[in-house]
Amino acid sequence: MKEATGELNMTVITVIAIAAVAALFYAFVWPMIQRTIVQQTCNTYGAGYKATKSTDSSTCNTSSDKTSCWVCKCDDTSKGCSGDIVVND
């Protein structure tokens, strides 16, 4: 009985540790990966664009389950950009 309790405790600790690692990945690493991917897309439009997350409903065609989208904002018109481009909707 003692061994079974020890194994259960280790299983619970393992599940909690996996959940903690997944939460840290989702909270910190995944947003950086998304921003890098979108910035690479913005770079294909020109040097003056910068990836920005937007919640503006006039820019984004947001549905009921989506509250934001990524936009390539024109930060420097001297580099040849003009206007904002919605990357994903």
- For the stretch 6-65, pLDDT in tens is 788 889 999 999 999 999 999 999 999 999 999 999 888 888 888 888 877 777 765 655
pLDDT for the residue 56:
76
Print the SS3 string covering the chain: CHHHHHHHHHHHHHHHHHHHHHHHHHHHHHHHHHHHHHHHHHHHHCCCEEEEEECCCCCCCCCCCCCCEEEEEECCHHHCCCCCEEEEC
pLDDT for the residue 13:
93
pLDDT for the residue 9:
87
Comparing 89 with 3, the larger pLDDT belongs to: 3
